[in-house]
Structure 1
């Protein structure tokens, strides 16, 4: 049996760079370097056919711990709830009102970046906030 050492999460989207930059802000990630042989993403995109420029973008955890996120342009828009979503873990180990306060503070930070608050799930002890990114992909703050 082989052991998986790395994985990447791929998002289908309309504007790969815009969505990648949103997630960089959320997670403290950085845009990945351009492909080998190119000094910048702009140079890489100019080398491609106009319809292929900006077709994808990637970002990564600068500490090397988290998975790489890859964003690829697709022609169709999002029409249903995603079946996989990211959970942004900001309240680990906290419970009750203390946990809720941390989640609400993170929500308040993300809304000006383009995130949309969908709903709060709170049972008096555990909680999470369901949100959407700049293209409507669901994620949770928990």
Structure 2
């Protein structure tokens, strides 16, 4: 049986080049046309393809941008808020902060420049 070596995450969107540039800034990836490439070669390639229809419902799949790994409590929320501020300046939209509930640590729900949901985790 063959094993999977790499994956690519593909986004349907209206403006592939613009969305690719946004996500490259978010993740520190390198821009390659309508794609984002992890310069370390570890993370998946993100590809953005133009589709005629617009986004109408919540994503069934989303990215978690891991900025608070290993942090808890107020220190974690501070890290999430700082990254949120940076991403809002790039055009992202803050949706809501979900505080730790005993089972899950705090995370911050956001939307990218085309309304795709993602979390700062």
Q: Work out whether 1:136 is the aligned partner of 2:115.
A: yes
Instruction: State the 1:3 CA deviation.
Output: 1.3
SS where residue 69 of structure 1 aligns? strand
Instruction: State the 1:123 CA deviation.
Output: 2.5
* Larger-gyration structure (1/2): 1
List gaps (5 residues or longer) in structure 1: 35-56
TM-score normalized by the length of structure 2: 0.95
SS where residue 98 of structure 1 aligns? helix
TM-score normalized by the length of structure 1: 0.81
List gaps (5 residues or longer) in structure 2: none
Q: Distance in 2 between matches of 1:86 and 1:95?
A: 20
Q: How many residues are matched? A: 119
Say what the alpha-carbon RMSD is for the aligned residues. Answer: 1.1
SS where residue 80 of structure 1 aligns? coil
Q: Identify which of 56, 65, 71 aligns with 1:79.
A: 56
- Please list every run of at least 4 consecutive aligned residues from structure 1 whose deviation after the TM superposition is greater than 4 angstroms: none
User: Which residue number in structure 2 is paired with residue 100 of structure 1?
Assistant: 77
SS where residue 59 of structure 1 aligns? strand
